[in-house]
Structure 1
């Protein structure tokens, strides 16, 4: 059954336009890291100050555009849940007749399931991002515009109390409601962003010499959000004997919901010397917040009624060769915030890369690690390459990611495919 839930989550997500998660590293930034890398037009997505130095030759004018598709999934706190449901709950429900002992066994097993997996969840986010960049000495910096259509789906197990189940006849159970549920949320976020980075020129002291840049991003956000809970007591009542209802049968217009809009402000700054650099960026300074449409069961089970993107500050440091083809980057988040599905995030990251514009047939290579210091606590390995205009990046918490997801071990993976053109 839990595998069906994962499939349902994927289908709910794919039924809408794909999207990229807010402030997760996007496209080649997965491998390059969240700091400035002149090898990609996506660098300005991580820090508006990067608009000023986001050029392969560093100086002069530059035009760039891209299109990136990305999908990621995480499983947390649900290991073994599929087998438990199939072997200890579904086998009883599928019987053609029931005994008092069947009712007792079903009650014990169901309560044990929601005790063991309370708070466990499946988190799926997918996306498309399209950045456009213009950099020129004439404006003493760079301007970028990007549009993102974001969609996320989260399925979670919720327990408030124990269920009571009794056999009312040889063919039926009676199950109390309001005790345990499966929660499903779907969030769709349209984002229009305008970003500008200004080059303040060189800053020098007797010991330090480097260029200073700063920038700002204004984002117009429109969110459609829906949260629904499926009462598991009702699910048992509806799936006895030859009766059968899928999860999708309980979900009513889940891809529509409450719509609201807000504006978000990001500020960033960077200092870049010949062989190293420092950066700081603050996201969501005004804490944009959105209402979530909830059905009666979602309200009863206490599912969130608002989604707020709390402020986040990220520090970064780079080491690189003078031509900036070889780079080592690191970053750390100072605050805890939420992803599109309301899961807690606070990341650290380190990455190494080689990028060159000498010939299209010489691939750029990037690899690294990143970890979530809260929430799932997962650590990811990142690997990516660029060949000509094509970017491919992978991120996984395990070399055995397929086996881990099949057994529902805590795990996560992301794949990103995109193109970019640089003039």
Structure 2
């Protein structure tokens, strides 16, 4: 019954070549959606932001990333001592049941454990980075800014699906316990190539209005699998490997983003809309009949059909990159070296495994003109939907090139007797000098 731990390892391996889906890259971890010329990664938010990343008046026309940011993150469900609960359930189900009284006692204890794990027992992992050198920004002498973006991203999540335990009497008079409780995993990877353009459309002593657009080509691979808890441990890794290989579906579609930023000497405000056309992608399907399934996979197939009838999973589904709107505002002092910013996503959207996100972020940052004084970022963000997790964030830029950022989950869960954060994200990158 150590399947949860085995599956966790399988999920981590399956996502080890991609990047956080529900979190922005690099220093944008901390700064949110507000465009900041000192942070190249904020150009990946509002499509108008690339205009501010290159100062063509000083003879600069190009700006690029170098390596990263490489991001790694996890989320776990709100179930204390999950490993102990798994061990307890394993011990209960492995007992030899001789009497109906013994069976009823084990049934009651096991159902309680399954209900706790089915409520919120899950593990989610996210890792990855933009392709090296990207994003690339070129600003023409007349002020128009072109941006190329190439990134990969992935997320994988495994969770318990709980089912009541039934008592079945064997032909020899003994009893056994039967349940369709299962582990269910979904995984998705996305490769995005984006082409953006931004330019100023109005300028006065009060400020400058910049508009931007970005067209993204998305190649999305989605897979899922279910494994019955009574399957042998030897089958676990193979079964979940199928979700990321044999049971995958890859499809391609295009998304359109638009953005606007009003910038003055001491403040700026922005509005962006992403995935305005809501591109859709197909998930791999689970079998709708078990007549041709091999005996070793039959318990898992039957369990999948039962959970589908209960509405706890879909055999056939598609994923949509939902339309989302974000507003942001920031203020600057000391020649824009010190900033205070906030951004808010106006509606919730789902990531590749169906979890809902709607981020509210506040941050402050100090960027020195000296290469020897580290830049410092501090922030707080909260998911206003789904898990409703919140984070304290800190970041630093060393020598104007090396970026390190950490988002530390403020909610905790008990693991091996110690309180640990339910979520954690870290990121590192090397950018071209600003």
Residues 21, 154 of structure 2: 8 Å contact kept: no
Residue in 2 aligned with 1:142?
Answer: 145
Alignment partner for residue 226 of structure 1, among 223, 226, 230? 223
Name 1:316's counterpart in structure 2: 328
**Contact 1:73–1:413 (CA under 8 A) maintained in structure 2:** yes
State the shift of 1:12 in Å.
2.8
> How far 1:383 moved relative to its partner?
0.5
**Unmatched 5+ residue regions in structure 2?**
288-300
Q: How many residues align?
A: 404
- Residue 27 (1) aligns with residue 26 (2): yes
SS at match of 1:12: helix
Deviation, 1:170, is 8.7
1:272 corresponds to 2:263: yes
Equivalence for 2:391? 380
How many angstroms apart in 2 are the aligned matches of 1:24 and 1:226? 21
Structure 1: unaligned runs, 5 residues or longer: none
Contact map agreement 1:325 1:356 (CA 8 A) in 2: yes
Note the alpha carbon deviations across 1:344-397, whole angstroms, 9 max, x for none. 1111000000113422x2211101000001111111000111112211100011
Give the alignment of 1:355-366 within 5 angstroms.
355-359=367-371, 361-366=372-377
For residue 290 of structure 1, what is the aligned residue in structure 2? Answer: 281
Shift of 1:399: 9.0
After TM superposition, list the pairs within 5 Å mapping 1:45-194 onto structure 2. Answer: 45-55=44-54, 60-66=59-65, 67-87=68-88, 89-95=89-95, 97-100=96-99, 101-120=101-120, 121-130=122-131, 131-159=134-162, 161-166=163-168, 168=170, 174-176=176-178, 179-194=180-195
Aligned partner of residue 39 in structure 1, secondary structure: coil
Deviation of 1:283 (Å)? 1.0
Which deviates further from its counterpart, 40-49 or 346-355? Answer: 40-49
Is the 1:39–1:56 Cα contact (8 Å) retained in structure 2?
Answer: no
Counterparts in 2 of 1:135 and 1:250: CA distance versus 1, 3 Å = closer
How far 1:220 moved relative to its partner?
0.8
TM-score, length-scaled by structure 1: 0.86
Question: What's the CA shift string for 1:10-40, capped at 9, x where partnerless?
Answer: 4433345532234622101112232111112
Corresponding residue for 2:353?
341
- CA 1:337–1:106 in structure 2 vs 1: closer, same or farther (change >3 Å)? same
Contact 1:38-1:56 at 8 Å conserved across structures: no
C-alpha displacement at 1:212, in angstroms? 0.8
Retained in 2: the 8 A contact 1:133–1:142?
A: no
Say whether the 8 Å CA contact 1:404–1:410 is kept in structure 2. no
Checking the alignment, whether the CA contact within 8 Å between 1:77 and 1:117 is kept in structure 2 is no
Provide the rounded CA distance (Å) in 1 between the counterparts of 2:354 and 2:416. Answer: 21
Q: Deviations over 1:230-281 (max 9, x none)?
A: 233xx1xx45xxxx54632432522120111111111111001100110011
